[in-house]
Each structure stands twice: as structure tokens, then as C-alpha cells.
């Protein structure tokens, strides 16, 4: 299949591109390199440096004629979304609309959208949260992701475009940037490898559902091959506190540095944990990488980076 991955030079997108190439799909990548890195892009993929809001994007659609779109291009920094909600909306809402309009115009069959479980649900009332949980985002990033899901539903109804929204929990792993929801793993790993004390926002008792990037790629491929449509959580169903995460990373890396605590981060939720039963029933997908193993593999990646 001809697959276009927006944000394909980013953390999750580049791993997905590698898998698509490995499975012999014809892959093209669009990324403006504002946060992504050109060196991450698989050399067998066709790379285009372009903003998803620019007119260049249509040229890519016209040339590549993709059958499938995997939309990972986004403004992913929660704190920046709080400081500049207009910029967040321009990238995450208007950028997505440009992709959807072009998808209809050039006959794309399916669009897979990288959404966010933690940000969309806001403060959870039940744990783990199913897709039926009320969505009350507490930051503009979450609002823009929820709006994106609604636009996918609209295009599915109005034009017959097949769509799936994947609500990721906190994705971590090699190539991770320190800006996303699970950026804490990248930040802590690099800080501890330098022998410096990690800084924890607030008490550190806030919890997250950490999922390894390889499992997220598996989820994308499962949805792609199954033809499943709708909204799906992608998580492990397990909560881990930031304090416990820090302790686990210290053990994995082999350092004994006392952490420091700073003020709470604006727009940060207290607990997050996702129920991925719907995705499992639709595709038989299950996460396979235990947290400690994933952290070990992530720490080893950053150990090589910092050499």
C-alpha cells in the first residue's frame, strides 16, 4: 500500500515508518523538522520537508497518491499549548483539516489519527478509562486532539472517508523527545545518565500509563491491517507514579541520585490510565513490552546518544 506518514521524522512517526518499510509498503513522509530529525527518516521512504498547513502538502498528495494517511504531525507540548493555544489550534486543528480535505480530494481510503487518551479525558473518574469515559480536556492540547477526533467522524459521515483515532497513553522509548506527554522518561534518563538529580513536578504521586513505542507501532499496524474504524485507546491499563518511574529508572541505570521536587506543572492531570479492551477485541492487539524492559532499552539508547 502507499502510505503517507505526517510527522514521520518524529519520535513515534519514525518508528512507524521503519515498520511500514519493513513490511514492504511504499512510504512517504511529510515533516517540517521543527521537532523531528531528518536522520530518523528511513532512507527507503520518500521524504518531503513541508508544513502540514502549507500549499506544498498538496504537491505531495498529487505526486504520491497515498491510499493511507497516518497523521502524527502535531504540536505535542502541553505546556506550550497552555501558553499559546492559538498556535496549538493552528497546527493540530487547521493542519488536520488540510490533511483531511486533501485526503478527500485525492481519493485516500483511510486516515489514522494519533490522538491522546490522557489529554482528551482530563481528570479521570474511573480507572482504567474506556472510550466511553467523559472527555473533559484540561489543556488546549487535549481540546485540539478531541476536536480532531470529531472532525474525523464528520469526514467519515460526510464523505465516506474511513477513519480511526488512536488515543495513546504516555508513549516512551528510543528517539523520544522531552516535549510530549511522556517526555519525563527522556528527561529523567538523560539527567540520571549524567549523574544529575532529576526534577519532579509537584509531589510525584501523579500517575501515568506508560507504553513502549514498539507496542504503539504494533497497535497502528493492527488497525491498519484489520480495517477497524472509530476511536480506540492504546495503553497498558496500568498506572505508574512519577516517583516510582524515577526509582525504576535509577535502578535500571545503576545510579543513586536523590531527586528534587519543583512546583506542579500547569494543565497537568493527577492520574491517567487507559482500558484498551476495544482495540484488543477489534484487532487482537495487546502490549508486550513490560515497563522495566522498555525503560532499560530506552536508557541504553540515551546512553549511546550521550557518549
Tens-digit pLDDT profile for residues 150-199: 999 999 999 999 999 999 999 999 999 876 555 899 999 999 999 999 99
Look up the pTM and report it.
Answer: 0.97
Which residues of the chain fall short of a pLDDT of 70? 179-182, 267
pLDDT of residue 307: 82
- All CATH 3.90.25.10 domain ranges of the chain, comma separated, are 183-207+239-273+291-305
pLDDT of residue 182: 58
pLDDT of residue 179: 62
At residue 99, φ and ψ (nearest 5 deg) are: -65, -45
State how far the Cα of 210 lies from the Cα of 244, in Å rounded to an integer. Answer: 12
The CATH classification number of 2-172+211-237+275-283 equals 3.40.50.720
Instruction: Say which of 48, 106, 121, 141 is annotated catalytic.
Output: 141
Count of CA atoms in the C-beta half-sphere (13 A) of 275 = 12
pLDDT of residue 183: 87
Q: How many CB atoms lie within 10 A of CB 146?
A: 21
pLDDT of residue 69: 98
Count of CA atoms in the C-beta half-sphere (13 A) of 7 = 22
- All CATH 3.40.50.720 domain ranges of the chain, comma separated, are 2-172+211-237+275-283
Which residue in 99, 19, 22, 31 sits closest to 66, CA to CA? 99
Q: How many CB atoms lie within 10 A of CB 156?
A: 16
pLDDT of residue 267: 67
What is the topology classification, in CATH, of domain 183-207+239-273+291-305?
UDP-galactose 4-epimerase; domain 1 (3.90.25)
Provide the strand spans (E) within the chain: 2-6, 26-31, 46-49, 68-71, 110-116, 162-168, 170-172, 199-201, 207-208, 210-212, 230-234, 240-241, 260-262
User: Is 106 assigned a catalytic role?
Assistant: no
Torsion of CA 269, 134, 236, 156, to 10 degrees: -120
Amino acid at each position: 500500500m502507499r502510505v503517507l506518514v505526517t510527522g514521520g521524522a518524529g519520535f513515534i512517526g519514525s518508528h512507524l515508518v521503519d515498520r511500514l518499510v519493513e513490511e514492504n509498503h511504499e512510504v512517504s513522509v511529510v515533516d517540517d523538522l521543527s521537532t523531528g530529525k531528518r536522520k530518523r527518516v528511513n532512507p527507503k521512504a520518500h521524504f518531503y520537508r513541508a508544513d502540514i498547513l502549507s500549499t506544498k502538502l498538496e504537491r505531495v498528495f498529487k505526486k504520491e497518491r497515498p491510499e493511507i494517511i497516518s497523521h502524527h504531525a502535531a504540536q505535542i507540548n502541553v505546556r506550550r499549548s497552555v501558553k499559546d493555544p492559538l498556535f496549538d489550534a493552528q497546527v493540530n486543528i487547521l493542519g488536520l483539516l488540510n490533511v483531511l480535505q486533501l485526503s478527500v480530494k485525492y481519493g485516500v481510503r483511510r486516515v489514522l489519527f494519533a490522538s491522546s487518551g490522557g489529554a482528551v479525558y482530563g481528570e479521570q473518574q474511573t480507572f482504567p478509562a474506556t472510550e466511553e469515559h467523559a472527555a473533559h480536556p484540561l489543556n488546549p492540547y487535549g481540546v485540539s486532539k478531541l476536536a480532531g477526533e470529531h472532525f474525523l467522524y464528520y469526514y467519515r459521515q460526510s464523505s465516506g472517508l474511513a477513519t480511526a483515532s488512536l488515543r495513546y497513553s504516555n508513549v516512551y522509548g528510543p528517539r523520544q523527545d522531552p516535549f510530549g506527554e511522556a517526555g519525563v522518561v527522556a528527561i529523567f534518563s538523560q539527567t540520571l545518565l549524567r549523574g544529575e538529580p532529576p526534577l519532579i513536578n509537584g509531589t510525584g504521586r501523579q500517575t501515568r500509563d506508560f507504553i513502549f513505542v514498539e507496542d504503539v507501532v504494533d497497535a497502528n499496524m493492527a488497525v491498519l491491517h484489520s480495517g477497524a474504524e472509530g476511536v480506540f485507546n492504546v495503553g497498558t491499563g496500568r498506572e505508574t507514579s512519577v516517583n516510582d518511574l524515577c526509582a525504576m529508572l535509577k535502578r535500571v541505570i545503576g545510579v543513586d541520585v536523590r531527586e528534587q521536587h519543583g512546583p506542579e506543572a500547569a494543565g497537568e492531570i493527577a492520574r491517567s490510565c487507559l482500558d484498551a479492551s476495544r482495540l484488543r477485541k477489534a484487532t487482537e492487539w495487546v502490549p508486550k513490552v513490560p515497563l522495566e524492559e522498555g525503560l532499560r532499552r530506552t536508557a541504553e539508547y540515551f546512553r549511546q546518544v550521550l557518549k
